[in-house]
A and B are shown apart, each in its own frame.
Chain A
Amino acid sequence: MALPSYAGPVERAWYYAYRVICAAIFVFLIAPILVIIPLSFNAEPYFTYTHQMLTLDPDGFSLRWYDEFFSSDAWLTSIRNSLIIGVSATLIATALGTVAALGLARRYMPARGLIMGILISPMIVPLIISAAGMFFFYSKLELAQTFLGVILAHAALGTPFVVITVTATLAGFDYSLTRAAANLGAPPVTVFRKVTLPLILPGMIAGGLFAFITSFDEIVIVLFVAGVDQRTIPREMWSGIREQISPTILAAATVLVAVSIMLLATVELLRRRSERLRGIRPD
C-alpha cells in the first residue's frame, strides 16, 4: 500500500492522516485489554492509576489481588468448575461435531442445507433465548442446577464451531487418499485413524478450542441453568462486577487474557499448519 509516485500533495496528506486514523482504531481495540493488566498490580483498592504507579514507584505495585484470587475458595472452585464443564463440553462437541462433519462433507448427504441450518442454529439464536428455553426444559428434566445440564448446554453451543471448522478442512480433502488406503487393504477404521484423522486433526483441534473458549467464556446459560455448585469463572466475575467490585476481578481478567493469548496462538499455529498441509495436495 505504498504511496504511488504520482500522488499529489492532498493525496500525500490523506495517506498519513489515514494511517493516524487506523492507528487510533487499533488503539481503541487493544487499549482496554492492555490498560487493565497494570491495574491488576495496583497496591491500592482503586481502579485507576495512582500517582505511585505512574512514577513507577515499586510501592505502588503489589501482587495482593493475585494472592486473593488464588487463595479464595470461591475463585478456586470457579476455576475447577470452568475446567470440568469446559473440558467435558469440548469433548462431547468435538466428537459429535467431527463425525457429523464427515457425513455432511459427503456428496450423498440428503437435505444438507436444512440439516446444516439446524446444526448451526445454536450459534445464531441469541443466548438469552437459548438460556430461556433451556431453563424451562432442563428444569422439567431435573437437569437444571446440575453439572450434566450445564455441560450438555455448553456442548450444544460448541458444536457449530466444530462442524464449521472440520467441514472447512474437509472441503480441501483429497478423497483419493482414503480410496488408495482402502485399495491397499486397510479396513475403514484403519483408514480413518491413519489417513483421515491426521489430515483433519488441525480442524478438529481448532474447532475444539473454539468450543472450549465458548464454554469457558459463557455466562448467560450459566446464569439461568447452573446452580450455586456450578459457578464458573465468568459467573464469579459477574457477581464481582454487580455486587462487590474489587481489583481481584482485574487479576482474574489478566489471567483470562493470558489464557486467550495462549489459545489464540495455538489456533494460529494450527491454521498455518493446516494451510501448509493443504498446500502439498495435488490439484
Chain B
Amino acid sequence: MAEAAIGGGGAMVTADGVPLKVSLRRAERRRKLTAVLLVAPLLIFILVTFVLPIADMMWRSVDNPLVAGTLPRTVQALEGWDGSGLPEEPVYAALAADLAAAQKERAAGRLAVRLNYEMSAARSLIGGTARRAARLEPPYKAALIDLNERWGEPEIWQIIQRERGLLTASYYVSAVDMRFAADGGIVAQPDYQQIYVDLFLRTLGLSLAITLICLVLGYPIAYMLATLPLRYSNLLMILVLLPFWTSLLVRTTAWIVLLQQQGVVNDLLIAAGFITEDGRLQMVHNWVGTVIAMTHILLPFMVLPLYSVMKTIPPSYMRAARSLGANPVTAYMRVYVPQTLPGIGAGAVLVFIISIGYYITPALVGGQSGQMISNLIAYHMQSSLNWGLAAALGTILLAGVLVLYWVYNRIVGTEGLKLT
C-alpha cells in the first residue's frame, strides 16, 4: 500500500506522484478483478454443466425443426393456402416429392412421430405414404387421396401449415390439456385425455398437505429443541439430523417395509386389536404412502429453520406476557408464535419447493394415486419419448419453483441459507 502525501497542487498524491484518487481506483479495480477471477472457474463450470443443459431443455420445449426440415417443398407450396378446403395439385406434388426424399434419407419416421403428437393417425398416414411416395404418378392429388383418404381431409394440411415454423407452442398447449382447433383457436382436450392439469393440481395438493403436516409435526419439536438445556437438546437434535443424513432410498425402503400389507405397522395394528387379519390396511403404493414417506423425509427441512429462529427468541417475552396477566395460551399465541413467523415461512416454502419437484419417493411408494408431475416428466423422457412435452412440463414446473424460491429469498435471503 503506497504512502499518501500532500502534493504541490494541494491534491492528495501517493509517494510516486500519482494522485491518490487514481491510485485508489486502480487498486480497487485490481481487487475487483481478483474477486471475479476467483469466482470465474466455478461460474463457468456451473454455466456449462448445469445452466446450459437446462436452457437446452427449455429450448427443446419450443424447438420444431422436423416439419420445415423434412417437408421444405410442401411448406413452400402451402404458402398461399388459406386453410379452408383442400390445397391444390402443386402442394400434393410437393408432398409426394418431399416424402419420397424423406424415405430415402430415413427421415420420414421421425416426422411421422412428430406429427403423431398433433393427430393420432398421423404416424401410419405419413409412414405408409412415404413408403409408396416414390412410385406415385401424377395427378398427385388423386393418387394420394386414393392411397389414404386422410389426404382428402383438411386436418393434416392444417397441422402441416400450423407446424411449419421452426418454433412451436404445441407442447405447451398439450401440457395444459388443450389442443388446437381446426380454426386455429385453442380448445380444451376431451375429458378422457385431460391428465396434466389434474396432475399439476394433485402435485400442488399433495405438496401442500405434506407442508402442513411437516409444520404441525415440526413446530412442537423445534420448540422443545430450542427451549431445552443444550446438553439435552444436542442429544435430541441427533434424532432430527440422523434421518436428514440417511440415504433417501434407505428411508423410502424403510417405509415400504413398515407400511406394506405384510409389514410391521399392519402387524402391530393387528397385535393391538385395531384391525383384523383380513382388514390389513393398504398404506403403500398409493397417495397415503407418498404423504407419509415424504413427510418423514422433509420434516428435518422444517425443523431446522424453525429451530434457528426459535433459538433467537428470548424466553423473557413469554414471562413478561404471563406476568402482565395473559393466560398461557394467549401468551403463546400472541407473543411467541408471531415471532416465529419468519421460521414458519422459511420452513414451509423450503418443504413446499422440495416436494413439488420430488420424483423418487412417489415413483417407489406412490402407486397410481401418489404420482406427481415429476413422474410424468420422467415417463415422457424414458417411455413415451415425447421429449418436447417432457421439456414443456419441466419448464412449467421450473417456473413455479423459481417463483417460490424468489418468495423464499424475500423471507430469509440467500445469506440465511445455512446448512449446519
Contacts and interface: CB of A to CB of B under 8 A. Distances in A.
Interface of A: 1, 4, 6, 11, 14, 18-19, 21-22, 25-26, 28-30, 32-33, 35-36, 39, 46-49, 92, 96-97, 99-100, 102-104, 106, 108-110, 113, 115-122, 124-130, 132-138, 140, 152-153, 155-156, 159, 161, 163-165, 168, 206, 210, 213, 216-217, 219-220, 223-224, 234, 237-238, 241-242, 245, 249-250, 253, 256-257, 260-261, 263-264, 267-268, 271
A11 B328 contact: yes
B56 A47 contact: no
A102 to B, nearest CB: 5
B368 interface: no
Given A129-B57, A267-B420, A271-B420, A22 B221 contact: yes
Nearest to A111: B36
Contacts of A264: 238, 241-242, 245
A120 B56 CA distance: 19
Nearest to B240: A29
B420 A33 contact: no
B264 A35 contact: yes
14 contacts: A36-B253, A47-B260, A49-B264, A103-B38, A119-B43, A120-B414, A124-B402, A126-B374, A129-B394, A137-B53, A137-B57, A216-B247, A219-B360, A256-B246
B381 A36 contact: no
Contacts of B250: 33, 36, 237, 253, 256-257
A241 B358 CA distance: 18
B291 to A, nearest CB: 13
A122 B254 CA distance: 28
Nearest to B47: A118
B95 to A, nearest CB: 31
Given A47-B262, A121-B51, A161-B419, A18 B254 contact: no
A73 B374 CA distance: 32
A130 B57 CA distance: 9
A224 to B, nearest CB: 7
A41 to B, nearest CB: 14
Nearest to A153: B49
Interface string B225-237: 0011000000010
B173 interface: no
Given A49-B267, A241-B252, A122 B46 contact: yes
Interface string B204-237: 0000000000000100110010011000000010
Contacts of B57: 129, 132-133, 136-137
With most chain B CB atoms within 10 A of its CB, the pick from A102, A152, A241, A261 is A241
B417 A241 contact: no
Interface of B: 28, 31-32, 34-39, 41-43, 45-47, 49-57, 60, 217, 220-221, 224, 227-228, 236, 238-243, 245-258, 260, 262-264, 267, 296, 299-300, 322, 328, 353, 356-360, 364, 374, 377-378, 381-382, 387, 390-391, 394, 397-398, 401-402, 405, 414, 417-420
A78 B137 CA distance: 60
Contacts of B382: 224
B45 A159 contact: yes
B50 A122 contact: yes
Contacts of B36: 103, 109-110
Interface centre among B240, B248, B249 (most CB of A within 10 A): B249
The residue among B221, B254, B322, B390 with the most chain A CB atoms within 10 A of its own CB is: B254
Contacts of B374: 126, 128
Q: Return the 9 tightest CB-CB contacts between A and B, nearest first.
A: A126-B357, A103-B38, A133-B53, A137-B53, A100-B42, A32-B254, A103-B39, A133-B57, A1-B227
A112 B66 CA distance: 42
A164 B417 contact: yes
A103 B34 contact: yes
A19 B220 CA distance: 9
A168 B264 contact: no
Contacts of B51: 118, 121
A9 B387 CA distance: 64
B282 to A, nearest CB: 16
Contacts of A140: 56
Contacts of B300: 29
Contacts of A224: 381-382
Given A128-B394, A130-B53, A168-B418, A121 B46 contact: yes
B227 A136 contact: no
B395 to A, nearest CB: 8
B359 A32 contact: no
Given A164-B419, A260-B247, A237 B242 contact: no
Given A32-B296, A152-B49, A250 B360 contact: no
A28 B262 CA distance: 20
Contacts of B228: 1
A256 B247 contact: yes
A217 B361 CA distance: 13
Given A47-B257, A108-B35, A156-B46, A32 B251 contact: yes
Contacts of A48: 257, 262-264, 267
Contacts of A29: 239-240, 243, 296, 299-300
Given A35-B254, A115-B43, A159-B42, A217 B249 contact: yes
Contacts of B419: 161, 164-165, 168, 206, 210
Contact of B390 (A96, A110, A132, A260): A132
Contacts of B255: 32
Interface centre among B31, B53, B54 (most CB of A within 10 A): B53
Contact of B54 (A47, A129, A249): A129
Given A121-B51, A128-B397, A253-B250, 7 more contacts: A36-B253, A47-B263, A126-B397, A132-B394, A164-B419, A217-B247, A224-B381
A241 B420 contact: no
Nearest to A97: B42
Contacts of B41: 96, 99-100
Nearest to A140: B56
Contacts of A11: 328
A124 B353 contact: yes
Contact of A129 (B52, B328, B397): B397
Given A102-B38, A124-B353, A132-B381, A113 B262 contact: no
B357 A237 contact: no
